[in-house]
């Protein structure tokens, strides 16, 4: 399993992914699921990977190799819009699926999906996700965040505090707490957490940070959150029947 | 879908169920999923139903009819222990499954499971759940609550504040907030909520209450919780990078 979140804010984008991969609980490892495609001054695109590692790594490598070919081929560095980027990511997914799917056993079907977003000069920041079927949706004000993987445990905190007007600092805090709730209940989602933040119209990545186990900020944030939640709970009205 | 929770506390038991049933989003209805078997002074058994309504209703009716037969047959009113009650509920489930399963289409397989608990004189309060396969587990101090149905959205609040030593009032509040988080994200779980509370060694049900849409206490509880959570969130440490 995996947990990835992307948030579309008025003033930018926030992305985060866990880094646990596993083939059963007796075989797990750490791989970064956050990839950045950056052409400073022109575009920043951040991708978060969910699904089988062999598939998602191959798709990211194909996207990188196509960028390296320059303008000879459509790629993430010459796409005119984020919608075109979505098409390129979807196409690369289909290419890898076409190559691998017949060799995969039925109980491990090909499975790769991505949350990705960013800004290309001439557009506003945009946020998308592909499904395993390689079709895709775009976030908008009504639903400003997209999740993949183990989405449920970490959804209440996002619903409580995140909307389009949330500032980047608060969105980052909410996303980290969302990971804390998820990791508490699902062993297949694990530290470290990779977090990235993009500021609107900057065309360069504002921040990228990895939170390792025992990260002092993450530890303080989650401790204060839990203590605060307990205090609120103790002050709730008593049942009046 | 459904959401049911049972909590085993040092001083008793708390049960709650939603009341939404549906056959697709274009066909939903309200049915009570909480059933009480009570012999004052001797035993209280509370059952929460998950799964197909035809199945769970039939199982509950069979259990009632077997009680009406008196001691001619093993039943919930003459079982010596809650473990024996678990066997009787499992057996009744198998009886209905045996009758119906071959007539059900493959895409709607027979599916019925229960959270149930209570106290029979001579024992401590106990809490169980059956699985769709009709085997069952019992709650213990390490995991004092059991959920069925849409379990994930409402789990973080239970993990934050409920343990074996929690008092009944706080356990009821936590359970109601767990339903609030769940109903916010899953349309197939809906009001009214049926809540029951059993006090250890009382051998009669302490409280049973239905929370309708716009219930004043539920509304105040969830509003104060959300406002409090927002306040805690605003006071969390700022990212220090």
Q: Would you call A169 and B238 a contact, using CB atoms and an 8 Å cutoff? A: yes
Question: In this predicted complex, what is the ipTM?
Answer: 0.87
Chain pair A-B, CB pairs under 8 angstroms: 103
Q: Which long-range contacts (CB under 8 A, 24 or more apart) does A34-39 make?
A: A34/A194, A34/A196, A34/A208, A35/A60, A36/A196, A36/A205, A36/A208, A37/A63, A37/A64, A37/A67, A37/A76, A37/A77, A37/A118, A38/A204, A38/A205, A39/A77, A39/A203
For testing contact with chain B, the best of A14, A16, A152 (most B CBs within 10 A): A152
Structure confidence at residue A223 (pLDDT): 96
Structure confidence at residue A240 (pLDDT): 75
Q: Would you call A181 and B156 a contact, using CB atoms and an 8 Å cutoff? A: yes
Domains of chain B (ranges; CATH) run: 3-234 (3.60.20.10)
A231: which residues sit within 8 A by CB, 6+ positions away? B228, B232
Q: Would you call B159 and A185 a contact, using CB atoms and an 8 Å cutoff? A: yes
Residues B43-84: tens digit of each pLDDT: 999 999 999 999 999 999 999 999 999 998 999 999 999 999
Q: Would you call A238 and B169 a contact, using CB atoms and an 8 Å cutoff? A: yes
B241 contacts on A by Cβ (under 8 Å): 207, 209, 217
B233: nearest CA partner in chain A: A225
Considering only CA atoms, which of B208, B187, B223, B235 is closest in space to residue B118?
Answer: B208
pLDDT confidence of B23, banded at 50, 70, 90? confident
The parts of chain A modelled with pLDDT lower than 70 are: 106-107
A-side interface with B, Cβ within 8 Å? 152-153, 155-157, 159-161, 169-170, 172-174, 181, 184-185, 207, 209, 217, 220-221, 224-226, 228-233, 235-241
Residues A183-224: tens digit of each pLDDT: 988 888 999 999 999 999 999 998 999 999 999 999 999 999
Q: How far is A174 from chain B (nearest CA, A)?
A: 8
A155: which residues sit within 8 A by CB, 6+ positions away? A147, A178, B153, B185
Q: Would you call B231 and A232 a contact, using CB atoms and an 8 Å cutoff? A: yes
């Amino acid at each position: 399993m995996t947990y990835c979140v992307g948030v579309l804010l008025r003033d930018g984008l926030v992305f985060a992914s866990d880094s646990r991969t596993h083939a059963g609980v007796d075989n797990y490892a750490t791989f970064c699921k956050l990839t950045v495609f950056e052409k400073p001054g022109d575009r920043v695109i951040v991708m978060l990977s969910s699904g089988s590692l062999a598939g998602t790594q191959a798709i990211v490598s194909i996207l990188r190799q196509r960028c390296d070919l320059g303008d000879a081929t459509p790629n993430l560095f010459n796409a005119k819009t984020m919608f075109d980027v979505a098409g390129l990511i979807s196409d690369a997914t289909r290419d890898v699926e076409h190559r691998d799917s017949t060799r995969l056993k039925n109980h491990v079907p090909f499975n790769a999906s991505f949350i990705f977003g960013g800004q290309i000069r001439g557009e506003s920041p945009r946020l998308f996700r592909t499904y395993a079927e390689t079709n895709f949706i775009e976030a908008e004000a009504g639903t400003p965040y997209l999740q993949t993987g183990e989405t449920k445990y970490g959804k209440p905190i996002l619903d409580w505090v995140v909307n389009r007007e949330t500032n980047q600092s608060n969105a980052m805090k909410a996303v980290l707490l969302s990971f804390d709730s998820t990791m508490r209940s699902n062993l297949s989602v694990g530290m470290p957490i990779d977090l990235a933040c993009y500021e609107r119209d900057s065309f360069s990545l504002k921040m990228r940070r990895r939170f390792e186990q025992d990260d002092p900020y993450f530890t303080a944030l989650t401790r204060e959150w839990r203590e605060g939640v307990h205090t609120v709970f103790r002050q709730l009205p008593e049942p009046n029947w």
